[in-house]
Amino acid sequence: MKLYTRLFLSHLLVICVALGAVLLISEALASAFIRHHVEQMVTLIGPDGASLRPDLERGVRRTLNAALLASLPLALVVAALTALLSARRVVRSVTLLRDGSHAIATGDYARRLPEEGRDELTDVARHFNRMAASLQQVEQGRVELISNVAHELRTPLSALRGYAEAMKDGVMPPEAVAGAILRETAAMERLAQDLSVVSRVEAGAVDLHPSDFAPALLIAHAHERFAGAYEERGVVLIQGNAGELPHVTADFERASQILSNLLGNALRHTLRGGLVTLGTERRGGDVVFTVADTGGGIPPEHQGRIFERFYRVDPARTRGDGSGVGLTIARGLATRMGGNLTVSSGPSGSTFTLTLLAAHGSGHNQLTTSSS
């Protein structure tokens, strides 16, 4: 039996039971009601009213029963229409949910349900739409990830094929080919490692070892690591003063990894003679670290997407600029440590801001740890 029929019959059954209860209750209460009013009528009529008592009782009872029986068909019609409309409303929502679920199961993640009304069925439709939107986003990310990985692997695989053909044709000696093959395989290994880190960061399964340390220690470590590379490229790296700032609570190695990524990006996009400033300051209960460069800046339409996996402002950039997931990893690590990573940019350069919790700060998110 269809759901619509079952709902309709169940509504009718409830209505019939209610009507039967009304008839039984009215019949049970009618005797006392009739006697009370007949006595009032007999009193008003006087001595002659006593002989009329049986006729009065029968007349009042017949009138009451006739009124109930006359109203019964109308009540049934109204109740049937109400049951019909109510069942149709429920069945329509269930049918839409069934069709929507089937569409989602077959891969149509763009399917949405109408959100009409303010009852529980509308809440179900609203939650269904949120689920569908999340699944659509996940599916879109999966497709983009596969496409991006295929694109990233195409270049080293093409290079490996070219080196193999060159060695086969005798154009290049095996010694030269071996070194080139090692470089290309190293690039693919780096991509695989970065993808593994990204997946663990996004799944919240990255290892964190929080501790309290001075911001100056992190700044000094990052400056020491990149000073030689900046000097070689002819770019000035300025280290800000962080001596008066409170300690921060974070994973030192992961925070250092974030700053390394930011300084590496700044170095790649700043021309010789340019300037990169590594600074820090306190903002409320947080400590922020900034990496500001004098490069060409990031166009406004790209600033909201540079933290996405494999997203590049210039699609023509070579893979030598990195695997394309460094900023994704950096923001994910910052978030896992209870902080944040943002960017602001203009024609004169870009500024990346890493926010970490001050060690003595209260009322902020607490750093959580998990293992992969």
- Which residues are CB-contacts of 109 (< 8 A; sequence separation ≥ 6)? 132, 135, 136, 139
Arithmetic mean of pLDDT, 181-210:
81
Which stretches does DSSP call E strand in the chain? 211-213, 236-239, 248-250, 275-283, 286-293, 340-346, 349-358
Would you call 45 exposed, middle or buried from its count of C-beta atoms within 10 A (0-12, 13-18, 19+)?
A: middle
Task: Report how far residue 276's alpha carbon sits from residue 114's, in angstroms, rounded to the nearest whole number.
Answer: 52
Q: Nearest to residue 234, comparing CAs of 262, 278, 275?
A: 275
Domains of the chain: residue spans and CATH: 3-108 (no CATH), 136-202 (1.10.287.130), 211-358 (3.30.565.10)
Reported confidence tier of residue 115, pLDDT bands at 50, 70, 90:
confident
Task: Judge whether 302 and 317 are in contact, CB under 8 Å.
Answer: no
Task: Report how far residue 154's alpha carbon sits from residue 146's, in angstroms, rounded to the nearest whole number.
Answer: 12
314-332 pLDDT, tens digit each: 554 444 455 578 888 899 9
Arithmetic mean of pLDDT, 200-214:
84
Q: According to the model, what pLDDT value does residue 48 have?
A: 61
Task: Report how far residue 289's alpha carbon sits from residue 297's, in angstroms, rounded to the nearest whole number.
Answer: 19
Give the other-Cβ count within 10 Å of 231's Cβ.
11
Question: At residue 163, does pLDDT exceed 50?
Answer: yes
